[in-house]
Amino acid sequence: MSSDSSQSQPDRRGLIALAWLWVGAPLAYGLYELVQKATQLFTG
């Protein structure tokens, strides 16, 4: 087995970052909305 097998595969770091952003942005927005609604619920 050669130690430089990573050179034969394409660099997918950009795609992985885009996938995390695709999922993370709506998740972060949903958590932000959840915190806002919860504070309204408990503070009146």
For 9-36, write each residue's pLDDT tens digit.
778 999 999 999 999 999 999 999 999 9
pTM value > 0.85? no
- pLDDT score at 24: 97
DSSP one-letter string for the chain: --TTGGGTS---HHHHHHHHHHHHHHHHHHHHHHHHHHHHHHH-
Whether pLDDT at 7 is above 90: no
- pLDDT score at 3: 56
What are the sequence ranges of the domains in the chain?
12-43
Give the pLDDT band (50/70/90) at residue 8: confident
